[in-house]
Amino acid sequence: MADEERNQMILLELVKQPHNSVCVDCGAPDPEWASYNLGVFVCFNCAWIHRNLSNKVKSIKLDTWEDSMVETMKSNGNAKAREVFEKAVPYYFYRPLPNDSTVLREQWIRAKYERLEFTGETKYPPPSYTRGFYEGLLWKKGKEKTQFNQRKFVLSETEFTLTYYTDDTEIKAPKAVIHIKDLNAMFQPEKIGHSHGLQLTYQGEHCTRNIYVYHENSEDIVTWFNCLRAVRFAYLKTAYPTGSNDELIPMITRNYLKEGYMEKTGPLQSETFRKRWFVLDAQTRKLFYYKSPLDAEELGAIFIGPGKNNYSVKECVPKSARGNKWKYGVTVDTPKRQYIFMCEEEKEQKEWLSALQQVVLRRMLCNTSCES
């Protein structure tokens, strides 16, 4: 057997081992690439980030491997790498998933292998997300306008607040003081139109408020994200003192279950259909709808309760609907009203049905109902 063929067979056996069978950085299954200076198996997307960091990367199946490279892979592997490079990852620090944005994946990899932030060694100065306070300038979209302007943001763990100012000297009163209790953060690069776009959402006085921001520097925007997560985690530890870390971590920040356009008609189902941007938040069990994706405030919100409380979701083709341009219908039944939505494509219809059904099947965590 040729050395090349033998080496490939060894690699294919190594990558089948449980700790090597997922990407060491994002957890994607069946990685087909490897970094032979680090001795780790990675997916295609993470491999290209490693290559940009000058790590030595090869395809397991397509490239030629020398004996010394294979020996490095045999003596290392994902489990050993995690013991070294992930020895002291803070509970709140976000670990990217396979479908997460590139900026999250890149900065996680840089933090692990380039900045060595999680080896357990004392860092000076300490990472910003460990300090309980952070401030800086972010580009923020205006509430009514599409233009982004620089605004000063100040995050305080002592006060459990995020404050922003229109004047970076802080001479003027703050534009908003947001309690960390109600704050969520999620990366939305495509929606915002910037690869570092971050959406901040919180409960305002009468509605849910959205703020859209970005920073030109990828490390800075991910630092902001993890600083917000650190303060959120500190708040949750105070609000739920008996909650375990495993219970609290999913509550720190969350992505929406589904977003996209659908057409919506009124309660009589004879009103004109209007195109709206819909957002499904599984944690609050709310289906929000907006006139456009970057609106600061919702037009309305529909509470999606559990099936045992007479909530249901099904495919439909409404007979009495008028004016709809799209043909693939979704019906949401609640104790108070039936809602009819139309999707442009069957694929979108199936995705909305699946997402809404997931919420209907979820157990209620409290007895409050917020239908509007």
| pLDDT digits 0-9 by tens, 47-64 | 999 999 888 999 999 889
- Which of 101-115, 171-185, 221-235 bottoms out in mean pLDDT, i.e. has the lowest? 171-185
pLDDT digits (tens, 9 = 90+) for 328-354: 999 999 999 999 999 999 999 999 999
Please say if the pLDDT value at position 142 is more than 50: yes
Note whether 35 and 24 are within 8 A (CB).
no
Please tell me the predicted confidence (pLDDT) of residue 145: 81
Note whether 31 and 23 are within 8 A (CB).
yes
Please tell me the predicted confidence (pLDDT) of residue 370: 41
Tokens in use for 262? 């659908």
Work out the mean pLDDT of the chain and round it to a whole number: 92
- Number of Cβ within 10 Å of residue 175's Cβ equals 14
Please say if the pLDDT value at position 365 is more than 70: no
The larger pLDDT score, comparing residue 129 to residue 123, is at 129
- Cα dihedral across residues 188, 193, 197, 199: positive or negative: negative
User: pTM higher than 0.85, yes or no?
Assistant: yes
Please say if the pLDDT value at position 172 is more than 80: no
pLDDT digits (tens, 9 = 90+) for 254-307: 999 999 999 998 887 778 889 999 999 999 999 999 999 999 999 999 999 999
Please say if the pLDDT value at position 72 is more than 70: yes
Please tell me the predicted confidence (pLDDT) of residue 323: 62
Indicate the pLDDT class of residue 143, thresholds 50, 70 and 90. confident
Please say if the pLDDT value at position 67 is more than 60: yes
> What average pLDDT does this structure show over 213-230?
98
- Number of Cβ within 10 Å of residue 80's Cβ equals 14
Please tell me the predicted confidence (pLDDT) of residue 206: 81
Percent of the chain's residues with pLDDT above 90: 80
Please tell me the predicted confidence (pLDDT) of residue 372: 38
Tokens in use for 366? 């409290």
Phi/psi at 327 (5° precision): -115, -5
